[in-house]
Amino acid sequence: MKEENIICIACPLGCNLQIIRNRSSIIIKGNRCKKGEDYAIREVTNPTRILTTTVKINNSFLNRLPVRTNKPIPKDKIFKCMELINSIEIDAPVKIGDVILKKTLGLNVDVVASRSMKKV
Amino acid sequence: MYDVVIIGAGVIGTFIARELSRYNLEIAIIDKENDVANGTTKANTAIIHAGYDAKSGTKMARFNVLGNEMFDEICNELDVEFKRTGSLVVAFNEDDMEKVKTLYQRGIRNGVKDMTIVGKNEIKDMEPNISDDIVGGIYALSCGIIDPWNLAIGLAENAVDNGVKLLLNTEVIDINKTEDYYTILADKQKLKAKYVINCAGLYADRINNMVASPSFIIKPRRGQYFVLDKDAGNLFNTVIFQCPSKFGKGVVVAPTVHGNVIIGPNAEDIGDRDGKHTTAEALDYVRKASLRTSSKIPFKKVITTFAGLRADTNIGDFIIEESKEAKGFIDVAGIKSPGLSSAPAIAKYVVKLVDKIAGGLEKNEKFNPIRKRVLRFSKLNSEEKKQIIRFDSKYGRIVCRCEQITEGEIVDCIRRKAGATTVDGVKKRVRPGSGRCQGGFCQVRVMEILARELGKDMSEILKDNIKSYILTGRTNKGEGRC
Amino acid sequence: MLEYDIVVIGGGQAGLAAAIEAKKNGIDSIIIIERDKELGGILQQCIHNGFGVHEFGEELTGTEYAERFIDQVNTYDIECKLVTMVLRITNKKIVEVVNSEDGYMCIKAKSIILAMGCRERTRGAIIIPGTRPSGIFTAGAAQRIINMEGYLIGKKVFILGSGDIGLIMARRLTLEGAKVLGVAEILEYSSGLSRNIVQCLDDFNIPLLLGHTVTSILGKDRIEGVVVAKVDKNRKPIKESEKIYECDTLLLSVGLIPENELSKDVKIRIDSNTGGPIVNQIMETSINGIFACGNVVHVHDLADYVSEESKRAGRNAAKYVKGEIKNSKNVIGIISGKGIRYVVPHYIGVDDIEEYIDLFMRVDRVYENIRLSVISEAEILKEVFRKRVCPGEMQKIKLPLFHFKDRKISSIKIEVREGG
A96-107 residue pLDDT tens: 999 999 999 999
Nearest chain A residue to B478 by CA: give it.
Answer: A86
pLDDT given at position C420:
57
Tell me the domains of chain B and their CATH numbers: 83-143+219-312 (3.30.9.10), 377-460 (1.10.10.1100)
pLDDT given at position B247:
66
The CA distance from C146 to the nearest CA of chain B, in Å, is: 7
Is C118 a residue whose pLDDT tops 90?
A: yes
pLDDT given at position B393:
97
Residues of B in contact with A85 (CB under 8 A): 476
Q: Do A62 and C149 touch (CB under 8 A)?
A: yes
Q: Do C150 and B474 touch (CB under 8 A)?
A: yes
Question: Of the given ranges (B183-187, C157-161, C266-270, C327-331), which has the lowest mean pLDDT?
Answer: C327-331
Report chain C's mean pLDDT, rounded to a whole number: 95
pLDDT band for position C329 (50/70/90)?
confident
Residues of B in contact with C151 (CB under 8 A): 458-459, 471-475
Average pLDDT over residues C57-68: 95
Is B196 a residue whose pLDDT tops 60?
A: yes
Distance CA B211, CA B221 (A): 25
Distance CA C174, CA A51 (A): 12
Q: Do C59 and A50 touch (CB under 8 A)?
A: yes
What pairing do the DSSP bridges indicate for beta strands C331-336 and C411-418? Answer: parallel
Average pLDDT over residues B331-343: 97
Average pLDDT over residues B120-147: 97
pLDDT in tens, C2-18: 999 999 999 999 999 99
Question: Of the given ranges (C257-266, C292-301, C316-325, C395-404), which has the lowest mean pLDDT?
Answer: C395-404
Is C198 a residue whose pLDDT tops 50?
A: yes
Q: Do A64 and C37 touch (CB under 8 A)?
A: no
pLDDT given at position A4:
84
Average pLDDT over residues B318-327: 96
Q: Do B480 and C85 touch (CB under 8 A)?
A: no
pLDDT band for position A74 (50/70/90)?
very high
Instruction: Choose among B397, B404, B475: nearest Cβ to C83.
Output: B397
pLDDT in tens, C124-151: 989 999 999 999 999 999 999 999 999 9
Enumerate residues 6+ apart whose C-beta is below 8 A from B452: none
CB B469 within 8 A of CB C134: yes
pLDDT given at position C295:
98
pLDDT band for position C191 (50/70/90)?
confident
pLDDT given at position A24:
81
Distance CA C13, CA C43 (A): 7
Q: Do A87 and B478 touch (CB under 8 A)?
A: yes
Residues of C in contact with B467 (CB under 8 A): 220-222
pLDDT given at position B479:
46
**In the complex, which subunits touch B with 3 or more CB pairs below 8 angstroms?**
A, C
Is B480 a residue whose pLDDT tops 50?
A: no
Residues of B in contact with C153 (CB under 8 A): 470-472
Distance CA A90, CA B209 (A): 61
Residues of C in contact with A49 (CB under 8 A): 199, 203
Residue C44 sits at the chain A interface (C-beta within 8 Å):
yes
pLDDT given at position B482:
33
Enumerate residues 6+ apart whose C-beta is below 8 A from B455: none
Instruction: Choose among C120, C132, C150: nearest Cβ to B475.
Output: C150
Residues of C in contact with B462 (CB under 8 A): 134
Residue A33 sits at the chain C interface (C-beta within 8 Å):
no
Instruction: Choose among B283, B382, B473: nearest Cβ to C129.
Output: B283
Is B251 a residue whose pLDDT tops 70?
A: yes
Is A8 a residue whose pLDDT tops 70?
A: yes
Residues of C in contact with B457 (CB under 8 A): none
Residue C394 sits at the chain A interface (C-beta within 8 Å):
no
Residue C50 sits at the chain A interface (C-beta within 8 Å):
yes
Q: Do C154 and B472 touch (CB under 8 A)?
A: yes
Average pLDDT over residues B365-391: 96
Percentage with pLDDT > 70 across chain A: 100
Q: Do B478 and A86 touch (CB under 8 A)?
A: yes
Residues of A in contact with B478 (CB under 8 A): 83, 86-87
Active site residues per annotation of B: 49
**In the complex, which subunits touch A with 3 or more CB pairs below 8 angstroms?**
B, C
Report chain B's mean pLDDT, rounded to a whole number: 95
Quote the pTM value: 0.95
The CA distance from A28 to the nearest CA of chain B, in Å, is: 40
Question: Of the given ranges (A21-35, C247-261, C367-381), which has the lowest mean pLDDT?
Answer: A21-35
Q: Do C152 and B472 touch (CB under 8 A)?
A: yes
Through-space distance between the first and last CA atoms of chain A, rounded to whole angstroms: 60
Residue A8 sits at the chain C interface (C-beta within 8 Å):
yes
Q: Do C96 and B404 touch (CB under 8 A)?
A: no
Q: Do B404 and C140 touch (CB under 8 A)?
A: no
pLDDT band for position B440 (50/70/90)?
confident
Chain B contact residues (CB < 8 Å to A): 474-478
Residue C390 sits at the chain A interface (C-beta within 8 Å):
no
Instruction: Write a three-state SS string for chain B.
Output: CEEEEEECCCHHHHHHHHHHCCECCCEEEECCCCCCCCCHHHCCCCEECCCCCCCCCCHHHHHHHHHHHHHHHHHHHHCCCEECCCEEEEECCHHHHHHHHHHHHHHHHHCCCCEEEEEHHHHHHHCCCCCCCCCEEEEECCCEEECHHHHHHHHHHHHHHCCCEEECCCCEEEEEECCCCEEEEECCCEEEEEEEEECCHHHHHHHHHCCCCCCCCEEEEEEEEEEECHHHCCCCCCEEEECCECCECCCEEEECCCCCEEEECCCEECCCCCCCCECHHHHHHHHHHHHHHCCCCCHHHEEEEEEEEEEEECCCCCEEEECCCCCCEEEEECCCCCHHHHHHHHHHHHHHHHHHHHCCCCECCCCCCCCCCCCCHHHCCHHHHHHHHHHCHHHHCEEECCCCEEHHHHHHHHHCCCCCCCHHHHHHHHCCCCCCCCCCCCHHHHHHHHHHHHCCCHHHCECCCCCCECCCCECCCCCCCC
